[in-house]
A = this chain, B = another copy of it.
Amino acid sequence: MGAGDFESRWLAPDVNAVWTRFLQVTHRLEHQIDRRLQERHGITHTQYEILVRLADAEDRSMRMSDLADSIVTAKSAVTYQVNKLSELGLVERFKCDKDNRGVWVKLTDPGLERLEQAAPCILSLVRELFLDAINCDQAAELDKLLGTWSDNLDEHDRHPIGDGPGEAGA
C-alpha cells in the first residue's frame, strides 16, 4: 500500500491532530461551563441556553421546535427541560396560536431575572476561555469558518442519505 492509500483511508497526521484537538477543546469548554453553571446557579447548560434564546427572541417567546433547532437537541429533550423550567417558574407555556398544535414558551420575569443573575458569571468564563484568545482578524476568520461549517451541515441535512463511501473498506 502506498502513501496515497493511507491518506485516503486515514487523515494526514497534522490534520488529524487538528480534528482531535477540536473535539477535546469543545468538550472541555462544555464541561467547564456546565460545571460552573451547576455549582453557582443550579442550572444546566441546556437550561441556560434555553433562557438565553428566549430572552433574545421576539416577545421573549419561542415555539418548541424553534427552540429545539436553536439549541440543537431532540424535541423530547426540549419538552423535558421546558417542563423543568416551567416548574421552577422561569418559563411559561402558552397554547395561544393560530396553529393549534403549536406551543409557545415565554420567559417569565423571574426567568429573566435568573438569567441576568447567571449570565455575567458564565459570560466572563466564555470570555476568559474562548473569546480572549481571538483578535479581530481571527474572529472574522472564525466567523467565516463557522459559516462554511454551518452551510456544509445544512447541505448535508438536505441530502439525508448515502453520501460518502459508506461501508467502504469492507
Closest residue of chain B to A21 (Cβ to Cβ) is B146
For chain A, the count of residues having a C-beta within 8 Å of the partner chain is: 64
What's the dominant secondary structure at chain A's contact region?
helix
Is B72 within 8 A of A27, CB to CB? yes
Given contacts A18-B143, A129-B156, A133-B152, contact A166 B23 (CB under 8 A): no
From known contacts A28-B72, A130-B19, A166-B40, infer whether A11 and B145 are also in contact, taking CB-CB under 8 Å. no
Determine how close the nearest CB of chain B comes to the CB of A120; give it in whole angstroms: 5
A-B pairs with lowest CB-CB distance, top 10:
A27-B72, A133-B148, A124-B164, A120-B169, A26-B26, A21-B146, A129-B152, A25-B149, A28-B153, A120-B168
